[in-house]
Chain A
Amino acid sequence: MSDLSQLKTLSRGKKPKIALCWCSSCGGCEESVFDLAEELVDIMAVTDIVFWPAALDAKYQDVAALADGEITATLVNGAIRMEHQEEMARLLRRKSQWLIAHGACAHLGGVVGLANFHGSADLLNRAYQEIPTVHHPAGICPFGEAPDGAGQVGKRGFYETVLPLNRMVAVDFYIPGCPPPPELVKEGLMMVLEQRLPPAGTILGKRQALCQSCPRRGSLPETLRLKEFSRMHQVTWDAAACFLAQGIICLGPATRGGCQARCLQGNMPCRGCFGPLDLVRDQGAKSLSFLASLADSADPEDLQRFADSIPDPGGLFYQFSLAASLLKGKADDQKNNH
Chain B
Amino acid sequence: MTVFEPRIVGFLCGWCAYEGADAAGRARKTYPAHLRIVRVLCSGRVDPQFVLEAFRQGADGVMILGCHPGECHYKEGNLQALKMTAILKKLLGQCGIQEERLRLDWVAAGEYGKLVKIVGEMVEKVKSLGPLRLREDGGGINSALTRH
Cα of A160 to Cα of B47 in the assembled complex, Å? 29
Contact string, B85-120, partner A, CB cutoff 8 A, digits 1/0?
011101100111110000000000000000000000
From known contacts A143-B148, A303-B86, A330-B96, infer whether A281 and B132 are also in contact, taking CB-CB under 8 Å: no
Contact string, B17-51, partner A, CB cutoff 8 A, digits 1/0?
00000000000000000000000000000011100
Residue of A117, A143, A157, A292 touching B94 (CB-CB under 8 A): A117
Cα of A135 to Cα of B98 in the assembled complex, Å? 37
A159 in the interface (beta carbon within 8 A): yes
Closest to A121 in B: B148
Contact between A124 and B148, CB atoms less than 8 A apart: yes
Contact between A304 and B86, CB atoms less than 8 A apart: yes
Measured CB to CB, the closest approach of chain B to A251, in angstroms, equals 14
Residues of A contacting B140 in the complex (Cβ-Cβ under 8 angstroms) = 80, 86, 159, 163, 167-168
A306 in the interface (beta carbon within 8 A): yes
Cα of A251 to Cα of B91 in the assembled complex, Å? 16
Measured CB to CB, the closest approach of chain A to B132, in angstroms, equals 7
Cα of A311 to Cα of B24 in the assembled complex, Å? 41
Contact between B87 and A332, CB atoms less than 8 A apart: no
Contact between A293 and B80, CB atoms less than 8 A apart: yes
A298 in the interface (beta carbon within 8 A): yes
Contact between B145 and A160, CB atoms less than 8 A apart: yes
Contact between B148 and A291, CB atoms less than 8 A apart: no
Cα of A159 to Cα of B49 in the assembled complex, Å? 26
Residues of A contacting B91 in the complex (Cβ-Cβ under 8 angstroms) = 284, 288, 313-314, 317
Residue of A83, A86, A124, A329 touching B95 (CB-CB under 8 A): A329
Closest to A313 in B: B91
Closest to A335 in B: B133
Contact between A331 and B84, CB atoms less than 8 A apart: no
Cα of A206 to Cα of B88 in the assembled complex, Å? 28
Residue of A116, A163, A317, A331 touching B132 (CB-CB under 8 A): A331
Q: Which of B59-85 contact A (CB under 8 A)?
A: 69, 76, 79-80, 82-84
A289 in the interface (beta carbon within 8 A): yes
Interface residues on chain A, number (Cβ under 8 Å): 55
Residues of B contacting A304 in the complex (Cβ-Cβ under 8 angstroms) = 86
Residue of B69, B94, B98 most packed against chain A (CB within 10 A): B94
Residue of A120, A168, A292 touching B86 (CB-CB under 8 A): A292
Total A-B pairs, Cβ < 8 A: 148
Residues of B contacting A327 in the complex (Cβ-Cβ under 8 angstroms) = 52, 55-56, 95, 97, 134-135
Contact between A330 and B52, CB atoms less than 8 A apart: no
Residues of A contacting B133 in the complex (Cβ-Cβ under 8 angstroms) = 331-332, 335-336
Residue of B80, B132, B139, B141 touching A167 (CB-CB under 8 A): B139
B2 in the interface (beta carbon within 8 A): no
Contact string, A113-131, partner B, CB cutoff 8 A, digits 1/0?
0001100110010000000
Cα of A291 to Cα of B84 in the assembled complex, Å? 8
A282 in the interface (beta carbon within 8 A): yes
Closest to B87 in A: A292
From known contacts A167-B139, A313-B94, infer whether A282 and B84 are also in contact, taking CB-CB under 8 Å: no
Measured CB to CB, the closest approach of chain A to B90, in angstroms, equals 5
Contact between A313 and B148, CB atoms less than 8 A apart: no
B5 in the interface (beta carbon within 8 A): no
Residues of A contacting B84 in the complex (Cβ-Cβ under 8 angstroms) = 288-289, 292-293
A87 in the interface (beta carbon within 8 A): yes
Residue of A161, A307, A310, A327 most packed against chain B (CB within 10 A): A327
Give residues in B with beta carbon < 8 Å to A: 47-49, 52-53, 55-56, 69, 76, 79-80, 82-84, 86-88, 90-91, 94-98, 129-130, 132-141, 145-148
Sample 9 A-B pairs with CB under 8 A, ordered by A number: A158-B148, A161-B135, A167-B137, A282-B52, A285-B48, A288-B88, A293-B80, A314-B94, A327-B135
Q: With A160-B135, A163-B140 given, name 7 new contacts (CB 8 A).
A: A83-B147, A143-B148, A288-B88, A289-B47, A314-B91, A317-B91, A329-B95
Give residues in A with beta carbon < 8 Å to B: 80, 83, 86-87, 116-117, 120-121, 124, 141, 143-144, 157-161, 163, 167-168, 280-282, 284-286, 288-289, 291-293, 295, 298, 303-304, 306-307, 310, 312-315, 317, 325-333, 335-336, 338
